[in-house]
Structure 1
Amino acid sequence: MDKSFRESLFNHAKEWVLEAGAYIRNNINEPLTIDTKSNPNDLVTTMDKETEQYFSTKIKKTYPNHFILSEEGFGDDLSSLDGIVWILDPIDGTMNFVHQKRNFAISLGIYQDGIGEIGFIYDVMSDVLYSAKKGEGAYKNDVKLGPVNENVALEDAILVLNHFWLTKNRLVDEHVMQDLVKRVRGTRTYGSAALEFAYVAEGIIDGYLSMRLAPWDIGAGIILLKEVGGRTTTIDGNSVQLLEKNSIFACSPKLGEKIVEEYIKKGKK
C-alpha cells in the first residue's frame, strides 16, 4: 500500500473510531435492547448494530471498492482477503458493555490482500486509543509502544487466560493448563480480546491464550502486536486464518515457543 494512501486511510479511520466512541460514551446510560446470538452469553445490543452500521455507511460511501468483514451483519460475504478489507468489531466485550459499562473496545483492522496495514483498538470509556501502521510502530495515544520483552521468564510472566480451556470442547488437557497457571506469576481475564491484545502490545501482560476467536476479535490486535515485535498464532503455533475462527496465542516469539513446546503440545488432545 502506498504510504500516502495509508496515511489518508489512517486519518479517516481514526476520525470514525473516535466519533463512534464518543457517541457510545455519551449514550452509555441510555436504555438498550439486548438480544442473544449463539448462546445466552453471546450478547448483542442495539448499540453494537448502530455502531457497525455507522462504520459500514462511512466506509462504503468513502471507499466503495473496499470490503467489510464484521460481526453484526452489515459487512460483506467474503471468501478471500483480496483487495482492501476492513475487519471490524463495533463493540468488543459486549458483556462488559452491558454489565460494567467499561472494559470494552472498538476494534478495527485494515488489510490489503491479507496483509495488515492499519489497526485501531479504542478503549471507549477510558478514551485510550491504541493504533498502528505497517512499518511505523504501534502507539498508545501519542506514546510509542514496544518492543515486547523477549527475555521474560515463564515464572515472571503474566498471562491472560479465559475460562474456555475448562469446557467440554477444550483443545488442551485441563491438567496441563493448570500446571501452566501454577508456574506463571499470575493470570488475568479482561473480557475483551481486543483490549487483551492491546495490553500484550503495551507490555503490561506477557501473553494471551484463547481457545476460539472470530476474525473481528483479532484483526486489529494482530497488526498492533506485530509492530512491537510480537506474534500471533494458533495455540499450537500455526498461522491464523482470518476468514474463520481460531484458537489464539499472542505473545513474544520466545515466550510463545517455550509455552507451546512445554505445555500446549504436551496437553494437545
Structure 2
Amino acid sequence: MASVKEMDTYAKLWMKEAGSKLRASFETKLNIEIKTNPNDLVTNMDKAIETFFCDKITETFPEHRIFGEEGMGNEIKDLKGTVWILDPIDGTLNFIHQQRNFAISLGIYEDGIGKIGMIYDVVNDELYHVIKGEGAFMNDQRLSPLKEVSVSKAILSMNASWVTENRRIDPSLLAPLVRDARGTRSYGSAALELAYVAAGRLDAYITMRLMPWDFAGGVLLVEEVGGEVSNITDKKLDFLEGDSLFVSKPGLHKEVFEKYLTGNTSL
C-alpha cells in the first residue's frame, strides 16, 4: 500500500508538469466545447490534463481510483479505498478568456477521509499543499493559523449570482451579509478562493453549488489552518454528489448562521 508521503511526492511532480503543459498551451488554439450551457465550457486542455493525471496515477498506483470532472477516470459511487478527486482546470472560463485565475485542484482521500490536498495556481506558480495533520503550505512557506474575524471586518468571496435572481437561493437572503461585510470579491475559481481563505487573503467563501472536485483539495487546506467548513445549512459536505459550500475563518460561521441564515426555510 502506498504511503501518504509517496503519494504526496508524486502528486507534486505531476502538478508542476501539468502546469507546464497548461502554460505552453497559451500559444496554441484551444478547442472549446459547451457542456450544459454557454457558460459551462470545456477545452481540449481540460481533457488532456485529466488524461495525463489518470495515466500517471494508474501506472504508479494501479489500485487507486480517480474521480475527475471530465470523466476520464473511474465511475465513483463510494469513497472506499484511495480515491484521487481531480479538477484539471478549475476556472475554465478564466483559462479561456484571461489565461490566469485558474488552478489544478486535487484531493486524495482514503476511505472517505482526506489525506492530501493540493491547489496549483499555474500562472503564479503557487502550489498550496497539505498533508493532513502536518501543516498547510504555499510552496515552501507554512500557512499561519487563521484568526477570528467578524462580518463587519471580513472580505467575503461570493459570486454576484447569489444576490440576483437565480434558481438556487432567494437573492434577498445573502444581500444583508454582502451589505454588512467590509468587502466582497469573486475570482471565478472555487479552488483559488479556497486557497485564498487558507492563506488569509479572504475571510470567507460562500457558493450555492459545487462538485466534489471543486472543493476536495481546498477544504483540507482550510481545515488544516483552523478554518471552518460546511455546506450552507451547516451540515457536512457531500463528496459524491456535490454541495453548497461555506468556508471561513474561525468565528464567522457562528455569526453568519446566527444573524443571516438560521430559520430561513428557503435553504
Give the partner amino acid of 1:240. L
Secondary structure, counterpart of 1:204 in structure 2? coil
Maintained 8 Å contact 1:71/1:88: yes
Maintained 8 Å contact 2:147/2:250: no
Q: Distance in 2 between matches of 1:146 and 1:115?
A: 23
Tell me whether 1:206 sits opposite 2:203 in the alignment: yes
Secondary structure, counterpart of 1:106 in structure 2? strand
Match of 1:15 in 2: 13
* Shift of residue 266, structure 1, vs aligned partner: 4.5
Which range moves more in the overlay, 161-170 or 187-196? 161-170
Q: Which runs of 4+ in 1 moved over 3 A?
A: none
Give the partner amino acid of 2:80. D
* Shift of residue 268, structure 1, vs aligned partner: 4.1
Maintained 8 Å contact 2:84/2:108: yes
Secondary structure, counterpart of 1:32 in structure 2? coil
Maintained 8 Å contact 1:68/1:87: yes
Match of 2:97 in 1: 99
Q: Following superposition of structure 1 onto structure 2, how do residues 44-59 of structure 1 map, counting pairs within 5 Å?
A: 44-59=42-57
Q: Following superposition of structure 1 onto structure 2, how do residues 1-269 of structure 1 map, counting pairs within 5 Å?
A: 5-150=3-148, 152-165=149-162, 166-171=164-169, 173-269=170-266
Q: Distance in 1 between matches of 2:82 and 2:90?
A: 22
Give the partner amino acid of 2:94. N
Q: Distance in 2 between matches of 1:267 and 1:161?
A: 19
Maintained 8 Å contact 2:219/2:229: yes
Give the partner amino acid of 2:209. R
Secondary structure, counterpart of 1:19 in structure 2? helix
Q: Distance in 1 between matches of 2:260 and 2:123?
A: 36
Maintained 8 Å contact 1:91/1:104: yes
Give the partner amino acid of 2:151. L
Give the partner amino acid of 2:238. Q
Secondary structure, counterpart of 2:105 in structure 1? strand
User: What do the CA deviations read for 1:82-114 (whole angstroms, capped 9, x no partner)?
Assistant: 100000000000000000000000001100011
Maintained 8 Å contact 1:176/1:266: no
Secondary structure, counterpart of 2:27 in structure 1? coil
TM score, norm. by length of structure 1: 0.95
Give the partner amino acid of 1:22. S
Q: CA RMSD in A?
A: 1.3
Q: Distance in 2 between matches of 1:153 and 1:95?
A: 32
User: What do the CA deviations read for 1:167-225 (whole angstroms, capped 9, x no partner)?
Assistant: 43132x32231111110100000000000000000001100000000000001001111
Q: Distance in 1 between matches of 2:142 and 2:161?
A: 33
Which range moves more in the overlay, 156-165 or 8-17? 156-165
Q: How many percent identity over aligned positions? A: 49
Secondary structure, counterpart of 1:82 in structure 2? coil
Q: Which runs of 5+ in 1 are unaligned?
A: none
Maintained 8 Å contact 2:150/2:255: no
Maintained 8 Å contact 1:160/1:189: yes
User: What do the CA deviations read for 1:45-82 (whole angstroms, capped 9, x no partner)?
Assistant: 00000000000000011111101111111111111101
